[in-house]
Structure 1
């Protein structure tokens, strides 16, 4: 049992060490230097699934603030209220249920000889467990407001933590948006 707990802790530690990454895609034919302002698409944030346990005005407020700060750092200014910016911004928060199988092998205490039928004989045994968890994907789409076409998309994923504090939620969203927009504008 001690080995099982150690293996599960090690798997959790390794999963925690993997820093989330972001992916981007964009229309290479667009002149991103020409985009100077932005405004929110309606609706600004869409949830998948549309579940009241996920949907939150507080989450939307955090995402809106993080996006506004990051776009401002990149030289894009928010359009005046009621005006369209050069870009329309739309965010998606997608939560998926996922599973991972973890197998723990228990060997013979006498080392490899036990596996190969050596003098101590016998073989080890293993146990496979299924871990259920949720992954949140935050996706940002930037659309050209003149023709409505998608010109840039970025996303990042993160395992959903159990019972995060409001400060932790804010920090996760800020870091996620910064990761997504790290390579905007494309070079």
Structure 2
């Protein structure tokens, strides 16, 4: 029973760390104040693995596009009247990865010291298990429309949960993820 309790605690700790800090990179020689309008690159959303039906759907793509568009709007970027008039082209990738984490559980009786001296005794046992889980990474690229050079990239990763979500929960999660990715825009 103690072993299962400790293993459950390890699983809770793993899921508590379900998001990573957003990663960002950008071209420091660019004046980001010059970028005012945007249009979607073709294709707007790429999925990897490409044929994975859990993520590669029109519903997921539309949720991501709506979430990214809302975040760009909140940062002062407006959709261009036509793709040819855009300052930036926006491209996003949704990537699902398998990851593994080793979890060690210690149980048993060990030695300790206290007011009355050394106490306890006996073996301390440990068990190491491999836990496999999936992550979803959203990466957003901003490309200068004039020279087709990448000027800004951001990404954030979440642990994929095995619980079902309503469409409203999925929409909220897409907005939260896009918001985390774009927290560092504009960089200057």
Same-fold status (TM-score > 0.5) = yes
Q: Which runs of 5+ in 1 are unaligned?
A: none
Change (3 A) 1:123 1:29: same
Deviations 1:108-160 (A, max 9, x none): 2xx416xxxx9975412221211111001000000000000000000000000
More strand by share: 2
Match of 2:22 in 1: 22
SS in 1 for 2:162: coil
Change (3 A) 1:42 1:178: same
Contact 2:111/2:121 (CA < 8 Å) preserved in 1? no
Contact 2:49/2:96 (CA < 8 Å) preserved in 1? yes
The two structures have a TM-score, normalised by structure 2, of 0.88
The two structures have a TM-score, normalised by structure 1, of 0.88
**What's the offset of the Cα at 1:173?**
1.2
**What's the offset of the Cα at 1:183?**
1.4
Match of 1:107 in 2: 108
Alignment of 1:164 onto 2:138: no
- When the two chains are superposed, the root-mean-square deviation of aligned CA atoms in Å is 1.9
Change (3 A) 1:121 1:71: closer
Q: Distance in 2 between matches of 1:84 and 1:42?
A: 15
Contact 2:108/2:122 (CA < 8 Å) preserved in 1? no
SS in 2 for 1:20: coil
Q: Distance in 2 between matches of 1:12 and 1:129?
A: 11
